[in-house]
Structure formats: structure tokens, C-alpha cells
Structure 1
């Protein structure tokens, strides 16, 4: 299989047609793994990036508008409210561009369409379509419509009215632990793992209808899927290597049902990867057939200790994994999926990816081998706001035997850090003038490992190396108890 990096550049340039690319995502450094590092593609470096957190060299787009540069605050509240903070300034900067923009984000929203204006374009999956496909109570019906094998479906029931008792759900699903899901949400919101009546009370506060499943013990996982119209009425489907995802990691301050990050360095059983690839192909064909949806989407699954795989969620959009999962494609000598995604969103032709069946066969083989990229989410612990000690910019750090992090060199790509040598990329660190509140995102810990320094030891457990890095990172912050969020 041959994929042309130069062909991808030419394809994206043709689809953009000299229009400026504008990224609107929480991280102003979004797309950095595509325009930095090995085989960097400058076509993907945004002319303007609008986000919550500022970018840094060498990850900086041509221009950046970051909410934290105005608020000087990072907090849980700010990461949800940032777009409203910069909406007016963003509109002014976009209006000053020499051409109508192409705006990229996770999915198309009214806010992004307002920013694009009457002559601009939003290159993202439509938000209403995303809501239809991602509705958690309808997921089992989706899998059946797509003819996904029963072996990959979790026993579940749909409940349209109020939830019955926990005892009844246990009898219905023949399990002691159940999972209640509701709505169209991400980041673990809308999901409650129920083991007690107190959990049931929390689940009952979710809006109806519900999808209730048996709890499946094992590793959570995410796989990125790309579908491309083939010109003959169907789609070609490319399935990336699946990850191991650790969820609800208490030692990293990650709550229940929330992801702590993803690791692509752990091998998957060949039979499980083969089934997952088949499921992804069927779902992509169904999405095109029923909704004419093509481009990037993600599938979440659970890999059990005995090697079975069960699908538990679909994400019809860019995801938190999109940034670092692109490294998987680069390691195979091909352009990242996001290039083709943007061209598909712009109605262009994707002709550089090679044979999709050959690609997916190679995915099954590569997934059984150790080694690959990873990322871990890092949040501020403690009870007080804090600022990072000066002299600690984003970049490559090495963890010493004394459990101190030492800055080594600039970096913006996971390949810049050799994690087998105790190096990590600390991406998206704040500057010393930013006040970070407890629970704020202070960095992503990234790297590539052959497998000797896995970020996670289990489905809900960080590795000793990750715990040491996390503690050393938090120790770079000085408490500022007098600071308050205004």
C-alpha cells in the first residue's frame, strides 16, 4: 500500500483554493501533529487558530486568539465557556482575513457558522447529523441496522420512561453492575456506572430515554475511522490501530467514566482487531448509505481480559484522540487521516490513500505488535489556584531519578520525545501569568514508546512512570491561595 504525502498536500491545497484555514478548538495548537514533526505538512498549519489555551513555538499557527490570554485563568468553568469569551474578537479577526475562511472544528455548530459568515465554509460534520448518530439510547439500533455481528454488541435495554429499580435492571441484564447512558454527550458526561442505589439516583437525574447495558470488565478503547466516497456510490473505509484507554484514574484526578488518555503501544489480539475492523467497515457503509456521512469518526469499545471486543459508543466527529492518533498514520508513511477528512468535508477528491483493504489488513497485523504513541491528560490537583514556576515552557522534558522534570529541548510532536529514555512531551503548558484552578487542564503528557514505558498499567490504573511524571508536573506549580476566579 502506498500513500502519497505530496498528493495529500496537493489535494488539500486544491480543496482550500487559497482560502485561509481557521481552527476553532479548545487547544489553539490543534492539528500540530500534522504540521510539525516527521513529514510535517504546512498546508495544515492554520492561518488563524481560535481556542481556550494558547499555542507555542514550534506548534504556533500563523495567528492565535486564545481566551486565556485575556482571562489569565485556566479552570473547569473556563474550558466550557471559552468560545463565548472570544466570539466577538474572533469575528473581527476572521473579517480581517483576505478571503472568506474555511473553519474546522469537532463538528459544525451555529457558533462556527456565524464565525464563517455568509461566504465562509465550515469543514466539519454537521452538528444535527452528529446528534442523530451519537444518541446513546439509539446505539444498539444503529448497530443492528449496520448488521454489526452480535458478538460485538453489549446486552442492553432501552428505557423510554423513568428508570426501574436496580434490582429489576440486574435481573433483566443478568449482571450486578449496569451502565446507564443518556443523551448526546462526550467526555464521560451522560454515563453513570451503577453499583448502588445512590448511583441509581444519579442516573435517574439524566434525561430520558436511557440505554442501559451490562457492565463489561476490560480495557476501554478508541479507534479512528476514515471513510472516503469512492465515486461509484459507496465509500472506502480506512481503520486505524485501536488504543488502550484508561478510564476513571483516581491517582490522575480523572473521574468515573472519564478518559485519562489513550495508548497505542500495547498490542491487541489479532482476532479482536479483525472483528473491530469489520464492525467499523459496516458502520461506515451504513452511515454513508443512510446519512451520506463520510470523513472521520470514532468507535469506542471494550477489550475483555479473554480477548473479546464489544462496541459501546460512536463519535461522529473529531475527537480528543484525533491529535495523537495521527501519529499512527505518520508511522506508516502516510498523511494523517485529518487531511482526507478536510478534503471530504470540502467536497474534494481523495486519491492518495491507496487500497483500503490492504491498509486494514496491515492494521490488523500492526495492532498485534508493541510500540506506538500515547497521551495522558494532566490536571491540577490540590485545593488552591496555582501558577507554573517560570522557566518551564511546553516542550520535551526528562524525568530524572530524583523525580524532577528537566526541560531538554523544544518540541510539539510526540515523536520529539523518546519515552523509553524517560522523556515526555509536555504539550499545552500554561505560561507563568496564567492562574490555574483545581481541576484545570495543565498539560497533555505525550510520547512514543516501544512498550517499556506504558502510560497505563490497567483499565483504571496509571503506570508508576506516569504517576511520577504527573506528581513532578504538579510540583512545578506554586499555590496562589489569594487568587479567585472572577
Structure 2
């Protein structure tokens, strides 16, 4: 991929145009970020082509921010609880609600709240006159509903070759009947109203059926398709003719269930945009994403950032498995793809769309997607790897500089290189990588907690994962070095 470490340095004037349009859409209202990572949007406002309008006036999150990715003000739950755990990851917002409200009062105008998706709690937090710049909760739920996926794909005109044989049932019948219905020995049972992997069980035999039965119906039961999970970020922008323009990012290979990274079955461990894609498969995935975007606009008037998940088979065929109508964790590092192409991140356009503003700087969508197709066939690109605590006992950081650019020395230990917050600031040719979201030394991390995210730009034949459930040797060495930063907590 061209310009990975010089991402966005070309003088195109697009950053200025994008910043002006988003500034106009904000109309003087402060940007407030509400997301687990209090440094969300950092790849947009740090790094080689920073767009300062993306730096939030206030960030409300779970994990602490770090320099040079500091928003104007920060309210982080972890700074109060000094605890990092699976439970805290899901319950952090109520813990900081009252303090966040006090910080919001310090702003001179009602805010624009940037978050994954709209809900009543966030609207209450935004307050009178505030705006939650996210997809409507009911629209998101309808589009992401698993038990409606096949109907949606048919309505959108997604080719049958890209769909997985499946049935939708209110109650689960026996395994033999499910196998006959979808035509495979292994079947995938999914809770109808969940769009993530926590509502998914792969059933290989009768012993797996009790776990599947514990999911809440209605159910989508699909044929098991072997291959590499993948995802593609898509941006839908209303045009002047009553339709939408659709821009597709380079697709990523997604890995999950890697025990040595602390991930249980079906739990994602990261995305890799560096692997070359077979052109016919990438072209079909982009076409399907376009059809879904056109349908969502016709049916719901929905636009903005979303992603399509799929399986890339060993035979280089693509089968769609999910739609997530929102930006998500991978959006942060995926922005490096747009910057490498000489563009501001998609998220600038997403915010403008959510606020009803125009987006003129992206150019012709078909030309953009054709360039995406060409870039997808080349090696090299960004990646992120999530590291969770795999031990059974709590730990805390013993000694570290905190988030920033690191490398491994000859003994395999971490060595601090410099401050940083953008993946491209780590020089892959020199063995560097970015460690994001490391906890502070007195934060106690419990089993399953997120310890850090390894980010960077892979070049040539180097990749963070050797397979959909296998980390590369280089990744395993980095993870081992990260784990060595932590000591067991004897007493709590």
C-alpha cells in the first residue's frame, strides 16, 4: 500500500475541506466523545495528517487517555475505580454519569455526542439541545437482527452465491433436523437479536446443543462455512439526487478465539488489513456492501459508517455473515487505510452525515472503490491485536512508560522508543509497534481484562496472524513481552 508511513502527507487540500465541512456541521457546538476508549478518534487528530476538529472537547470513557492523544477534558471510569475487568468494561458509563454531567456543564453550548449508536441514556447525557451523532437505535436493531439477515440480503439484491444457507426458527429443533435444513454436519446457531459473536454457537455435535439452547430466540441457524472471517468498513453518503454514494474501505482479515491472547471461543482478537485479497472476492464483497447501503437508504433513510462481515473460504469465495450498522472498535485503526490513500478518515464524513451536513471531498464513489480494489490486492497495511489477561489471578503493571511506541530488544523484552498515538508512527522496518491503552501502574487488572492493543503497519510478507485462530510468532513474542510488564497482585 502506498504511503503507509507517510499517510496523508500529500498536499491535496482534502483535510482542509473535510475540516471546514465538519466544522460547519458542528456549528460551534463542542464535540464530546462517549466510548470505552477515551482516546477514540485519535488516528484522526494525531499522526502525520492531523485534523484538529476531531479532537473532542470532552471525552467520556472507561480507559485513561494518554499524551499525545489527550482530548480537551477527560472523564475516565478507570481513574476512579482503579480497576480493569470484564464487568467494568460493560458497566463503566453509569459509574461516571454524574461526574460527566458536571463536566458537560462546563461546556458553553449543548454538545454533539459522538458514540457507537444512539440510546436513551446517551440522549439524557447530551441534555436539552444536545445531539447524539449516531444511528437511531431502532434502525440499528432492525438492520443488525440476525434472524432477519437473510431476508435483508435478499431484499438488497445480494447475489445468492454470497449468502449462506440458513433457516430462521422460533424454537430450536433437534440437531439432525438442523443439519438437514442447512446441508452441513456442523451448524452455526445465532441469537436472532444479537449482532456479535457472544450470541453465536458452532454446533459440531449433540454436546454443543445445550449451549445453543441457552441463547435467546428467535434463532438463525446457518450452514458452517470454513474459512477466514473478514470485515469491510463502508461509508454511505447522501447525494444531491436523493440517493447515496457508497465508499468501501480495504477489507480486513479478522482473527478470533486465540487462547494465548486471552480470547475465548468466537471472541475477536484483532483485524489485519495487510494481507492481499483475491480481486474477484474483494470485488464481490464491495458490490454486496454497495447493495446493502442502497437498500438501507431506501428502506430507512440510513447512511453513515457501517461494516459487513463475511467468510473468505479457502477457495476464495465470499459468504456474508453479519451487518453492523455503526462504527466500531476497528474503525480507529481502519482510518490508517484512508490516510494512506491521501484522504482524511471516513469518520469525518460519518460525523457530517450524522449532523445533516454535506460531504464533498471524497470524490467519485466508483473511482474510489476501484482504487480500493487495486490496493486490496497488494500486501501491506495496518493491524491491531487485542491482548487480554489470560491468567486466573489479578495483575498490575510493574514498570512501563505507558502507551507509546515500543520494540523488542534481543532478549525479547519491551523497550520504550518514543511517545505516540498513531499506528503509522511505529516504524515496521525497525521492529516498532504501538502499544495503546496500557493501564496505569496502580490499576488492578482482573482475568479477561483488556491489557493493551498492539497496533502498527505490517509490510511485505509480515502479518500479525498466521490464520483465523493463530497468532504469528512475532505477535506471540510481543504478547509475551506485554505480559511480562505485569506482576501478580497478591492481596486486594
- TM-score scaled to structure 2, two decimals? 0.96
Residue in structure 2 matched with residue 32 of structure 1 by the alignment: 42
- Number of equivalent positions: 481
Choose the corresponding residue for 1:441, options 432, 443, 450: 450
Give distance in 1, aligned partners of 2:19 and 2:359. 11
Residue in structure 2 matched with residue 405 of structure 1 by the alignment: 414
Counting only pairs closer than 5 Å after superposition, residues 140-219 of structure 1 correspond to structure 2 as: 140-160=150-170, 162-219=171-228
Counting only pairs closer than 5 Å after superposition, residues 325-336 of structure 1 correspond to structure 2 as: 325-336=334-345
CA RMSD for the aligned pairs?
A: 1.1
Provide the secondary structure at the position in 2 that maps to 1:106.
strand
Q: Is the 8 A contact 1:148 1:283 kept in 2?
A: yes
Residue in structure 1 matched with residue 5 of structure 2 by the alignment: none
Q: Is the 8 A contact 2:186 2:204 kept in 1?
A: yes
Give distance in 2, aligned partners of 1:451 and 1:26. 33
Provide the secondary structure at the position in 1 that maps to 2:375.
helix
Choose the corresponding residue for 1:105, options 115, 131, 135: 115
1:387 aligns with 2:392: no
CA shift, 1:175, in A, is: 0.9
Give distance in 2, aligned partners of 1:375 and 1:384. 25
CA shift, 1:187, in A, is: 4.4
Give distance in 1, aligned partners of 2:323 and 2:166. 16
Q: Is the 8 A contact 2:144 2:195 kept in 1?
A: no
Structure 1 pair 251/374, CA: closer, same or farther in 2 (3 Å)?
A: same
Give distance in 2, aligned partners of 1:129 and 1:91. 27
Residue in structure 1 matched with residue 366 of structure 2 by the alignment: 357
Counting only pairs closer than 5 Å after superposition, residues 413-452 of structure 1 correspond to structure 2 as: 413-452=422-461
CA shift, 1:184, in A, is: 3.3
Residue in structure 1 matched with residue 464 of structure 2 by the alignment: 455
1:64 aligns with 2:74: yes
Provide the secondary structure at the position in 1 that maps to 2:466.
strand
Provide the secondary structure at the position in 1 that maps to 2:134.
coil
List alignment gaps of at least 5 residues for structure 1: none
Residue in structure 2 matched with residue 73 of structure 1 by the alignment: 83
CA shift, 1:392, in A, is: 2.7
Give distance in 1, aligned partners of 2:167 and 2:453. 37
Give distance in 2, aligned partners of 1:401 and 1:221. 34
Q: Is the 8 A contact 2:195 2:323 kept in 1?
A: no
Give distance in 2, aligned partners of 1:366 and 1:57. 32
Q: 355-364 or 401-410, which moves further after superposition? A: 401-410
Q: Is the 8 A contact 2:147 2:193 kept in 1?
A: no
Q: Is the 8 A contact 1:420 1:452 kept in 2?
A: no
Give distance in 2, aligned partners of 1:451 and 1:15. 40
Give distance in 2, aligned partners of 1:444 and 1:184. 29
Give distance in 2, aligned partners of 1:460 and 1:185. 22
1:136 aligns with 2:146: yes
Residue in structure 1 matched with residue 332 of structure 2 by the alignment: 323
Counting only pairs closer than 5 Å after superposition, residues 241-390 of structure 1 correspond to structure 2 as: 241-390=250-399
Q: 243-252 or 2-11, which moves further after superposition? A: 2-11
Q: Is the 8 A contact 2:231 2:307 kept in 1?
A: yes
1:92 aligns with 2:102: yes
Provide the secondary structure at the position in 2 that maps to 1:124.
strand
List alignment gaps of at least 5 residues for structure 2: 1-11
Give distance in 2, aligned partners of 1:164 and 1:365. 46
CA shift, 1:231, in A, is: 1.4
CA shift, 1:186, in A, is: 4.8
Provide the secondary structure at the position in 1 that maps to 2:208.
helix
CA shift, 1:481, in A, is: 2.7
Q: Is the 8 A contact 1:29 1:59 kept in 2?
A: yes
Give distance in 2, aligned partners of 1:369 and 1:379. 31
CA shift, 1:274, in A, is: 0.6
1:343-372, CA deviations, whole angstroms, 9 ceiling, x for partnerless residues?
A: 000010111111100000111111000000
1:63-95, CA deviations, whole angstroms, 9 ceiling, x for partnerless residues?
A: 100000000000010000000100111111112
Structure 1 pair 186/417, CA: closer, same or farther in 2 (3 Å)?
A: farther
CA shift, 1:404, in A, is: 0.7
Provide the secondary structure at the position in 2 that maps to 1:167.
helix
Residue in structure 1 matched with residue 55 of structure 2 by the alignment: 45
Provide the secondary structure at the position in 1 that maps to 2:440.
coil
Provide the secondary structure at the position in 2 that maps to 1:453.
coil
Give distance in 2, aligned partners of 1:206 and 1:451. 42
